Amino acid sequence: MSRIFNRQTENLKRQELRNNMPKAEAILWKKLRRRQMLGYKFRRQFSIKQYVVDFYCPDLKLAIELDGDSHFIGDAPQYDAERQKEIEDFWIIFIRFQNNEVYRNLNGVLVTIAEKIKEMEGRQG
């Protein structure tokens, strides 16, 4: 059985993405790291199969994606939808935000994430 999470073949891609995070990702990461979000550990630039998600909480199987301008041109929306569907096949829940939401309403983004976590906790218990 092949490895699904953080494959060795994706190491360089993950490292490159971590070292060159867009501004919106850096802002959100400051709020997610060190278990600041309701005590849950998030990882940044986590790979699932050949894909890399911006943020991932293994305990909840929750992926958070931030979409910049490149996600809205050409075939990108279709690619994102197919990618998300393939990742969701592993029972991973997705939350998507646009970069502008982080810039204009960071508190609202954090509230949305917290609400999703509480909803997921309610299903686990």
DSSP states of 55-95: EEETTTTEEEEEE-GGGGSTTHHHHHHHHHHHHHTTT-EEE
- The structure tokens listed for 99 are 């970069």
Strand order of the β-sheet with 51-57 is 43-48, 51-57, 62-67, 93-98
Residue-level pLDDT, tens digit, the chain, 125 residues: 468 877 777 777 767 777 779 999 999 999 999 999 999 999 999 999 999 999 999 999 999 999 987 666 788 889 999 999 999 999 999 999 999 999 999 999 999 999 999 999 987 65
Distance CA 53, CA 11 (A): 13
Structural domains of the chain, with CATH: 8-124 (3.40.960.10)
Q: What is the pTM of this model?
A: 0.88
